[in-house]
Structure 1
Amino acid sequence: MKLTCPECTQHFSVPDNAIGPKGRKLRCSKCGHQWHQTLEMLAQQKAPKPEPAALPAAAESAPADSGEEEVVPFGRFGSGEADPDAEPDPAGTDEEEDQEGVFGAPPIPRGRMPLSRPPKTRSKRLIAIAASVILVVTLGILFGARGSLVAAWPPIDRLYATIGLGVPVIGEDLVIQNVAAWRKTDGSIELLIIKGEIRNPTEQMQTVPTLAGKLTGTQGDIMQEWLFRAENQVMLPGEKTDFEYELPQPGADAAEVTVTFSERALGGGLGY
């Protein structure tokens, strides 16, 4: 069958089954005009036209102009050129969906389809690498500076202990026990004598850290602090060692003595 563009009157040859009972939307490949083609419109186009008036004799000798332009087939039919003389496919007469894509200018699409874009794999890979680097650096800081972090904020030690990275406490495997303190006068000098024991309850040999003494007054204020050493610096499993320190001029308000382990090194001239 032949179709004519209502806008530019361009003619096209299409298979007879190209226009279904409901018609279809077309686009002219020449001028781009869009219209809804129906079988009724084809019937109107095929209606006989009134014969033109007789021309003078001189005009009759001239080549007759049929009024029809050259029939231009659609640019594509399937994967090849249009074949106006081909037999129509009876199987697709009533299936309008099978006719899309047969024209040089395809029918108007029913919906706008988004253009597919290649996945941004490179950007995702860079983001993943950057996140991994940040995670490793953060974990390194948290692990390497855990001692400083716990000292600044002691409650965070619970978090480290939960994940098995608790901050080791100096002398945590040793026990300070039997601490006693009393005043003593040596001539005109009053002394505070502090004695006690350190026990190694583990099955490994332990190094005894520096000891730190603290004297607190009746109001809870710290009166004096000092460092000293135990009698033995290395202890075998289950072994005990003694410590003793003489503090001069403790003061009348001295009320309590505390002995703990210290990470600080003992300076010269201090200790026992």
Structure 2
Amino acid sequence: MQIACPACHTRYTVPDTAIGAHGRTVRCAKCRHSWYQPGHDEVVEDELAGDEVANRSEQTAAAQPAEAEPAAEPVAAREKVAETVAADGDWHASPPAPRGWADHADAPDYADTQTPDPVAASPVDETVEPEPVIEDEPVAHRAPAFAAPGAEPIDAEYEDLDRPAETSRWKRLLIICGILLVLAAALIYGAVRYFGAPAWLPVGQTTFAPASEALVLDFPADEQDRRELPNGRQLFAASGTITNTGSRTEHVPPVLVVLRDSQERIVYSWEMEPAQTELGPGESVKVSQMVTDVPRSARIVDIGWKPS
């Protein structure tokens, strides 16, 4: 089957099975123009309609010479009769008619000389226009999964009308990216919970809360005791004093003790409540407490105010 692009007039040779009986939308491989190519059945119907119109036109042309000619035979017959009467003699002539009378015999026969009725136009005289062919909506045909053996390669590129929109690809991509981000966040959270936050993260710098300049913590290193108990547990005892160096009474918040490993990761912490919640100017209070479930990896101790 031969098809041609209406835009660039490039011709292609395609098998009839590629277009189908009902036609389909094709796209030119050269100029990318798309058009609807009718099927083989529609082309045959158009050719039959064209042949029928041509036959009817030929019949009309053959019937035109046979149209009615001007009716001159009655007039010629009357002239011949008049010549015959004149040759026979004057005794055949009729007496003169009275004055004012009209000789109806000599009057032309209007009935015989009337213009003949025009021949009714035959239906074949009119130009017959073929009725417009109502084309069905193109049906999208899916290409077979495998090419038929011995089939010629199709030069024209076909474009399916039910091709999915490009937006669906972006939606799938966004969904995949969202899932990956959630998995990465869960992995980071689990690592921080298990190994602790690294020292370079800002979250690792807010372990203790700032306190009033009047309250001073004094926990000497030689007073911090760590030992191993007979049952194998690690004991740690923290001891120190809190002094109010200001000129007014200050509220004393809880003390936070933090133990870190050699990589400065928090491995253990606990709170110590002072015996007094308020200290006047110059007053001091001693704070001490010990715990027996300290991890063996603890190497560094930090003491400060508990965040509110």
Q: Name the one with the larger strand percent.
A: 1
Establish whether TM, by shorter chain, passes 0.5. Answer: no
* TM-score category (smaller protein): 0.3 to 0.5
Based on CA coordinates, which of the two structures has the bigger radius of gyration?
2
Q: Name the one with the larger helix percent.
A: 2
TM-score normalised to structure 2 length: 0.29
TM-score normalised to structure 1 length: 0.33
